Copies of this chain bind each other. A is one copy, B any other.
Amino acid sequence: MAPRIPAAVGERLAKLAASGGDVADLAAFVAIPSVSAQPPHAPDVRRSAEFLRDRLRKAGLTAEIWETQGHPSVYAEWLGAAGGEAAPTILIYGHHDVQPPEPLEQWGTPPFTASVRDGRLYGRGVVDDKGQVYCHVLALEALLQETGRLPCNVKLIVEGEEEVGSAHFDALIEKKKERLRADAVLVSDTPMLDRDHPSICYGLRGLAYLEIEVAGPDHDLHSGGYGGGVANPGTALAEILASLHDKRGRVAVAGFYDDVVRMPGRERKAIAKLPFDEAGWLKTVGAPAAVGEQGWTTLERLWGRPTCDVMGVMSGYTGPGAKTILPSRALAKISCRLVPDQDPGKVASLLQAHVRKVAPAGVRVDVRVLHGGKPWRAEPRHRVFKAAARALEAAFGKPTVFIREGGSIPFVRTIADILQVPCLLVGFGLPDENAHAPNEWLDLSNFRKGTLACVGLYAEVAACIRKSPPKPAE
């Protein structure tokens, strides 16, 4: 048991785990299909916010809904630490919205019915991010119920639009920045390197998400009667998409790499030393090979290099059999993962210019920007990171590693810019838990160690801040 975890809290959490009460509790949250990308689910996203607000109140915090122009966030706080306003304050971030569950037919059990099999909890959002939010809910509740207090002031902000690019969240953060003032930020929305290494993430990629629409004839045409007579939007879109990369796997959009900060040699060395099992990783991915931009290792590509990836393509007839039509339209969704110091708006503009330039004759092309988020990187040698590493090692009984993450959490960059305090990304998911895919799952043992780790994290980070308030991470 970690030294900073009160015995009663540890016992309470152990009992909860033994009874499965923690899983049943989380299952009620998972049951709400808070799919932020799909408008018919808007009432569900609101319902999940209200559910979480009520749950946090039950845990012993004050909690409220914060409205945005889109889906609502939940805000909660407990500010009763010794020293009052001057006491160390931690801001915890999570999100209560989830990815669409499609394709539904690939799920083993229904996505919104949390199901336990072989030590795993299956369901949409169990790891991304409802389960991780629940680690904090259960940790805070255990501390408040068993000891009547927390080791520091705690604020929680749980947003409802993370899976759609946090479109309205920046405005909310800006408006509420005084309420959100804290000495450190704690985010649980990233995976561990693997089961044997609790991990602290010090970098996130950004995102620029676009949609390309190619229009040709104003209706589908008989491919015999018209094939060869007019441009084919399907072919035109393929040519546009193929033009996005060169033969070395680099993004072939003029200016795309201009603002990329090249990974320093010492970071590449540190990454090379990580116990990354590439063969095992590839097996969980189920792909024939790990390929991508030449000249970089797989982890370097995933963490420190930008991408331009096809998310979806649709054109013409794709049902059974052989329908012979020349399609009138073709659509592609594209996401660029960005690294410091790329800017999503600038990258989107470069993409738009590129597509306009390469679009073949005979079609009309429209490029729409759907959303974006800035990349982020902190300095992992900061002493708050070391304090957090100790808390993790105590809870997991295993060494902590410092990693980056290929995904995007737009909030992190926003709050880091506004508060100018360290952001600690400490997540309890595993990389192969199918976040964003069918059969998303959460390792139950990590769910419970993560809850315990949260208890320790609050104490370690608070003690570190008490000793001397931190300066900005970078």
Q: List chain A positions with a Cβ less than 8 A from chain B.
A: 36-39, 99-100, 102-103, 106, 128, 163-165, 191, 205, 207, 209, 216-232, 234-235, 237-245, 282, 285-293, 298, 301-302, 305-307, 309-328, 330-333, 335, 337, 360-364, 370-371, 405-408, 431, 434-439
Contact = CB atoms under 8 A, between A and B. Distances in A.
B229 A235 contact: no
Contact of A100 (B285, B298, B319): B319
Contacts of A408: 224
A406 B322 contact: no
Given A238-B241, A322-B165, A324-B335, A106 B288 contact: no
Given A318-B313, A335-B324, A406 B102 contact: no
Given A217-B285, A289-B362, A310-B316, 17 more contacts: A99-B323, A100-B317, A103-B220, A163-B324, A191-B225, A224-B406, A225-B405, A225-B406, A232-B310, A235-B310, A239-B245, A288-B364, A310-B315, A310-B327, A312-B315, A313-B314, A322-B371
B407 A229 contact: no
Nearest to A303: B228
Contact of A238 (B310, B328, B439): B310
Residue with the greatest number of chain B CB neighbours at <10 A, chosen from A222, A328, A434, A435:
A222
Contact of A311 (B165, B244, B323): B323
Contacts of A438: 219-220
Contacts of A312: 234, 315-318, 323, 325, 327
A242 B238 contact: yes
